[in-house]
Structure 1
Amino acid sequence: MFAVGDKVVYPMHGAGVVKTIEKRERDGQSVDYLILAMLLGEMKVMVPVDSVERVGLRHVIENDDIDAVEKVLEERPDNYNKAITWNRRFNMYLEKMKSGNVFEVADVIRTLQVQENEKKLSTGERRLLGTARQILISEVMLVKNAEQQDIENWLNKFF
């Protein structure tokens, strides 16, 4: 399970650290909550312990997994759904990000960044790219114990 000090990823929010576990009242019941300090955005998130699996909270990847993330970022999509309307692509990318899987998030970044470099993205896709980048950057910051700018530079070298 999770303990104070654990480095975690909350899908669609990014990486953070479990700061405390607090008991709170919910519907007349005493419930344990994980209090997460998110790495980027100065946000504090409360997740009921009994909901961590449902919301997809997970531990950050291991340092050894960074090579596999880099492989995803280095690949170039042959056909990145050009025939699909932008809103269907958007929903497809959103589902990948909601999965919380770091490789799916990297895939979304790679695909959208390649599209952005070839032709401009829609406003929604550009915003999704920004969110995906922040999620991946925050996780890699915790894995590598590095500063945000260093990880942004690391990510930018792929594009």
Structure 2
Amino acid sequence: MPNKTAKPAAKATVAKPAAAKAPAAKPAAPKAPVAAAPAKTPVAAKPAAKPAAAPKVEEKKVVTQRQGFKANEFVVYPAHGVGQILAIEEQEIAGAKLELFVINFIKDKMTLRVPTAKVANVGMRKLSEPALVKKALETLKGRARVKRTMWSRRAQEYEAKINSGDIVAIAEVVRDLYRSESQPEQSYSERQLYEAALDRLSREIAVVQHSTETEAVKEIEAQLAKSPRRANAKAEAADGEADSDADGDTDDTDGDDTTVADEAA
């Protein structure tokens, strides 16, 4: 008998188109050797910012002579007495040139700068000539001249003479305010003015005569002792006391230590 179970016909298989093959990968190009990075050059540390320089104020230029005065010369500055010029400087301040005398006052431990253009105004002068010093010493031998005015007014006149820088005027103050041991003591203000005048006078005499101040003071006091008034001081003091007893008061109306003999002089 025939086989009834017939096998189904085989299905036709449709062939799938073959997928395109990917192109073969190209071999990788050999890598160029990488150069080693150069070592970093150390960076120098930045210098710290310099502090701003102070503005230039002045420039000094030393000169040796101006207005007839020289460096190292002794001069008389009326307000302070005898000093020595240490230098003559030319300074530039804010664009303007200025010449200065640098004066040292050794005894006062002071240095003063005076514009050369103002020496005439302040009365600065050279040391006195020996002949003028002799005249000042002769003045000390004269009679004291005391005005009959209030002490305050006389004190102003004495001070003006001391600060005038005139050696003869200063000698007059020394003469008028000097008191010997036999005379009444001075008041405090009189003593101050006397010592100031004596100091100015003795300093200049010492420099002019190339001696010490102590020697100059002795010479001044020796001249004062030669005054006829000093020689007869005791007699005049006695006469003054007698006049005072007779009148019942003194002629010293302004309350200072001026004696009757002073007023008469």
TM-score (norm 2): 0.54
1:1-159 → structure 2 map (5 Å cutoff): 1-24=68-91, 29-77=96-144, 79-81=145-147, 83-114=148-179, 118-159=183-224
Moved more, 46-55 or 25-34: 25-34
CA distance in 1, matches of 2:214, 2:204: 13
CA distance in 2, matches of 1:92, 1:28: 43
Structure 2 residue ranges without an equivalent (≥5): 1-67, 225-265
Q: How many residues align?
A: 157
Q: CA deviation at 1:86?
A: 1.0
Q: CA deviation at 1:110?
A: 0.6
Q: Which amino acid in structure 2 is aligned with residue 70 of structure 1? A: L
Q: Which amino acid in structure 1 is aligned with residue 109 of structure 2? A: E
CA distance in 1, matches of 2:81, 2:182: 25
Q: CA deviation at 1:51?
A: 1.2
Q: CA deviation at 1:114?
A: 4.3
TM-score (norm 1): 0.87
Moved more, 34-43 or 10-19: 34-43
Task: Identify the structure with the greater helix proportion.
Answer: 1
Greater C-alpha radius of gyration: 2
Kindly indicate whether the alpha-carbon contact (under 8 Å) linking 1:9 and 1:60 is maintained by their aligned counterparts in 2: yes
CA distance in 2, matches of 1:100, 1:117: 31
CA distance in 2, matches of 1:39, 1:116: 32
Residue 50 of structure 1 aligns to a residue whose secondary structure is: helix
Q: Which amino acid in structure 1 is aligned with residue 152 of structure 2? A: N
Q: Which amino acid in structure 2 is aligned with residue 65 of structure 1? A: L
Residue 193 of structure 2 aligns to a residue whose secondary structure is: helix
Q: Considering Cα pairs closer than 8 Å and 6+ residues apart, tell me whether 1 or 2 has the greater RCO.
A: 1
Residue 69 of structure 2 aligns to a residue whose secondary structure is: coil
Change in Cα spacing, 1:29 to 1:144, as seen in structure 2 (3 Å) is same
CA distance in 2, matches of 1:25, 1:63: 39
CA distance in 2, matches of 1:120, 1:61: 32
Change in Cα spacing, 1:94 to 1:28, as seen in structure 2 (3 Å) is farther
Q: Which amino acid in structure 1 is aligned with residue 154 of structure 2? A: R
Residue 35 of structure 1 aligns to a residue whose secondary structure is: strand
CA distance in 2, matches of 1:61, 1:24: 30
- CA-based RMSD of the aligned residues comes to 2.1
Structure 1 residue ranges without an equivalent (≥5): none
Aligned structure 1 segments of 4 or more residues deviating by more than 6 angstroms = none
Residue 157 of structure 1 aligns to a residue whose secondary structure is: helix
Change in Cα spacing, 1:115 to 1:148, as seen in structure 2 (3 Å) is closer
Residue 146 of structure 1 aligns to a residue whose secondary structure is: coil
Sequence identity (%): 27
Task: Identify the structure with the greater strand proportion.
Answer: 1
Kindly indicate whether the alpha-carbon contact (under 8 Å) linking 2:138 and 2:223 is maintained by their aligned counterparts in 1: no
Residue 61 of structure 1 aligns to a residue whose secondary structure is: coil
CA distance in 1, matches of 2:91, 2:175: 41
Residue 168 of structure 2 aligns to a residue whose secondary structure is: helix
